[in-house]
Chains A and B, each alone.
Chain A
Amino acid sequence: MELIQLAVPVLLKGLGMTAVLTVVSVLIGFNLGLGLALMRLSSNRLLAGFAKYYSNVFRGTPLLVQIFLFYYGLGQLSLIKDNPALWWVVSDGARCAVMALALNTAAYTSEILRGGLMSVPVGLVEAAQACGMSRMLRFRRIEFPLAIRQALPAYGNELILVVKGTSLSSTITVLEITGYAKRLMSQTFAIFEIFAIAGVLYLVINLLLIAIIRSTERVLMRHELLSRDIRSAPNPEGSATVL
C-alpha cells in the first residue's frame, strides 16, 4: 500500500511523457505513412520502389536497433552535429525517440492505408470521375474516407504498438513510464510490484485507446446501423440526412 502511494505519483509523471511521445509520433507517422501509401500506389516506378524499400527496411529491423542507431549512431556523425536543425533533433533523447517511432510507424501505417486504399471499389472512383470531381476532391471525399474506414481496426492495433514502443525510449535516457519504473526499482527493489503497476498503467492506456477506436468505428459505420433501422422502419427523410 505504501509502495503504491510512492510509485503511482512517480509513474504518473512518466505518463505525460509517454502520451506526448505517442501523440507526436502518431501525428507525424500518419502523415508520412499516407504519403508513402500514395507513393506506393502511384504509377511512378521510382516513387513506388522507394516506398516499398522504405517499408521493408523499417518493418524488417527491430525498433530498438532503429532507436540506438538514431541516438548513438547519428549522434556520432559530424555531418549531423554540424547541422543545427538535425542536431536539435538528435541531441535530445525524447526528440530522437519521436523521430524513430514516427519513421517506424509510418512504415506500418503505409501498409495499412495501402490495403485500405486498394479496397475502395473502382466503380466508386469512376463514378466520382464521371461526376467531374477533381483528383484532390475525389481523394478527399471518396477514396480517403472509405479507405480509412476499412483500415481503422488494423490502425488501432498499430496505435497500441506505438504506445508500447514508447517504452523503448527509456533506453536512451527518456523518463517516461518505463524509465521511472526502472528508477523506482533501483531505489526500492520492489521489482514485481513496480513493474506490475507500470504494466497496469499501460493496460489502462491501451484499453482507453481501444474504446476510442471502437466508438470511432461505430461513427464511421453508422450508415450500416442506419440502413438496418431503415429496413425495419422505412424513413426516406432519414436516409436523406445521411447523405
Chain B
Amino acid sequence: MEFGLWQVWEAGWVTAILRGASITILVGVVSMAAGLVIGIACGLIKWARIFPLSLLVDAYTSLVRGVPELLIIYLLFFSSVEFVTKVVTAFGYAGVAESGYAFVIAVIAIGAISGAYSTEVVRGALAAIPNGHIEAARALGLSRGRIFRRIIAPQMLRIAVPGINNVWQTTIKDTALVSVVGLQELMRISFIGANSTRHPFIFYLIAAVVYLIITLVSQAGFDGTERLLRLRTGK
C-alpha cells in the first residue's frame, strides 16, 4: 500500500486529528461535568426518596439507560434544532448558535446520558454510607447542611470514584456518536479523512489509537486519585 502514515502527516491530517481529539476531550469534559451535576442532584433525590421528584428521576434514568445512545442523539439533533437556537439566541449568542450548534447538542445529549449513569453511581455511593455515621452526627446536634458537607459528601465522593471513572470512560466513548450529526470531533475528522483519501483503514486505526490513549491516560489518573483518597483516609 503506497498510502502510509507519512502521507497522512504530509497532507496535514495530523493537525486536523489533534484538533478533533481536543474537541472530543472538550465535549467529554463539559458533558461529564453537566452529567455530574445532574447525577448528584438526581442521586440525592433518589436516595432521599423525595416523593414526586423521585418518580421523575426514575423515569429519566430508565428511559435514557434503556434507549440506544444513537437514537437519543438523532432525536435531540433532528427535533430540537429550533429549541437550541432559540435558547442560545435568547442569551445573546446568535453567532454561537451557528458554529457551536452541534457542540451544544452534543453536550446536551451526552450530558443527559452520563447524567443518568452518574445518578445510579451517586445513589449507590450514598446508600453505601453507614447509617450510623449520619445518626451519630445527628445525635451530636450537627445541622443538616453540615451533616451533608462534613459526613455525607466526602464519603460519597470517595465511594463514587470508581463508578465515576466508569461513567467517564463511557462518556468519552459516547462522544464518537456525535460525529453522525456533524460535530468535527475526532471520529468525524477520521471519517472525513477516510472518505476523501479512500484509506479508511489507516484513519480509523489512528482514531482507535487516539481514543485508547485518552482512555488509558484518564484511567491512570483515576487510579492515582483512588490511591490518594485511600491514603488520606488511611484505608
Contacts and interface: CB of A to CB of B under 8 A. Distances in A.
A206 to B, nearest CB: 4
A65 B75 contact: no
Contact of B74 (A76, A160, A165, A195): A195
Interface residues of B, number: 41
A203 B216 contact: no
B163 interface: no
A164 B78 CA distance: 20
A64 interface: yes
Given A68-B204, A69-B201, A60 B68 contact: no
B13 to A, nearest CB: 15
A238 interface: no
Interface residues of A, number: 41
B55 interface: no
A191 B219 CA distance: 38
Interface stretch (B42-50, B137-145, B147-155, B206-214): B206-214
Nearest to A56: B216
A33 to B, nearest CB: 18
B179 A64 contact: yes
A185 B212 CA distance: 34
Given A72-B194, A167-B71, A203-B63, A62 B187 contact: yes
Contacts of B211: 60-62, 65
A108 B34 CA distance: 26
Contacts of B187: 62, 64-65
B70 A76 contact: no
Interface string B32-74: 0000000000000000000000000000001101111111101
A127 to B, nearest CB: 32
B207 to A, nearest CB: 5
A208 to B, nearest CB: 11
Interface in B183-204: 187, 190-191, 194, 198-204
Interface of B: 62-63, 65-72, 74-75, 78-79, 169, 173-177, 179-180, 187, 190-191, 194, 198-205, 207-208, 211-212, 215-216, 219
24 contacts: A56-B216, A62-B176, A62-B177, A64-B179, A65-B187, A69-B201, A69-B204, A69-B207, A72-B200, A73-B201, A73-B203, A76-B199, A164-B69, A168-B68, A168-B70, A168-B177, A178-B70, A181-B71, A181-B74, A185-B78, A191-B75, A199-B67, A202-B66, A203-B66
Given A76-B198, A199-B67, 10 more contacts: A61-B208, A65-B187, A68-B191, A68-B204, A69-B205, A73-B200, A164-B67, A167-B68, A178-B68, A178-B74
